[in-house]
Amino acid sequence: MELWYTEKQTETYGITAKIKETYVHEKTDFQELAMIETEEFGTMLVLDGMVMTTDKDEFVYHEMVAHPALYTHPNPRHVLVVGGGDGGVIREVLKHPEVEKAVLVEIDGKVIEYSKKYLPNIAGGLDDPRVEVIVNDGFMHIHDHKNTYDVIMVDSTEPVGPAVNLFTKGFYQGIYESLKEDGIFVAQTDNPWFKADLIESVYRDVKEVFPIVRVYCANVPTYPSGLWTFTMGSKKHDPLEVDESAIPDIDTKYYSPRLHKGAFALPKLVENLLK
């Protein structure tokens, strides 16, 4: 008998993958969590029926959350990752030797536990001495840490369940206050095909808080539509003014010095959402 996993990405559209094995399927204190082995994408982490990451394509998302902001900031010594319990963004942050401390705040400890067990290539950096892992509410952590971080990265699910508060203007204001005077923040902001209104509202809210706001894109095959957006808010530093020749060619599979500015060249359907 064949077993297939299907993510219903809208009421009329979804993606499906053939399952080799189910490692975990349980209801945590916060969400439904599954860790499954698929034929096409390897091990897949699923939260509340949504694909969070897979062995095969995870590097795109994690690299594009981390590197554009870290190469825009001239000296990112203290970095916060909200969510991201799989550890992928932390792994990319640690590729920057100037980072002295990276704090991960994940509300669901089970995500961390199972990612370490079943996604070791992604979660391996969580035991690095530069990393502090906190199982807590990222919203409250930011509220309690003013003027603390150089860069804040929000690696959240879609705005459902425990992630609802991470897509509000109040949260972006809290991030602004938690950043140092030249701080930068970045968040994943979904796709323009099915969540255009979300991109519009996040851009509008962030623009009311940060003087510099940029949106960029990447291709993540297992995410709805494959075209994914990220929104960056900055107090002083513009990613479009970065000297690409000064960006080292680090160990990445998607991000590159040439792509740094190229990712901000938006398709018109995304450009039009920001008007």
Catalytic residue, chosen from 86, 155, 190, 205, is: 155
- C-beta neighbour count of 192 within 10 angstroms: 23
Quick check: is 155 catalytic? yes
* Residue 82 DSSP symbol: E
The identity of residue 196, as a single letter, is: A
- Which token pair is 135? 């199982």
- According to DSSP, the β-strands at 227-234 and 212-219 are antiparallel
The 3-state DSSP class for residue 30 equals coil
Tokens 């949504």 correspond to what residue?
Answer: 50
Token pair belonging to 153: 């990265």
Tokens of 184: 């930068």
Output the CA angle 212-142-115, nearest 5 degrees.
100
Query: What residue spans of 209-275 are helical by DSSP H?
Result: 257-262, 268-271
The strand pair at 227-234 and 3-8 is best described as: unpaired
Alpha-carbon span 264 to 69, nearest angstrom: 12
Residue type, 251: D
In the block, tokens 């979300």 appear at 198
Burial of 161 by CB count in 10 Å (0-12 exposed, 13-18 middle, 19+ buried)?
Answer: middle
Taking the C-alpha atoms of residue 92 and residue 12, their distance in angstroms, rounded to an integer, is: 35
Cα gap 61→55, rounded to integer Å? 12
Residues with a known catalytic role: 155
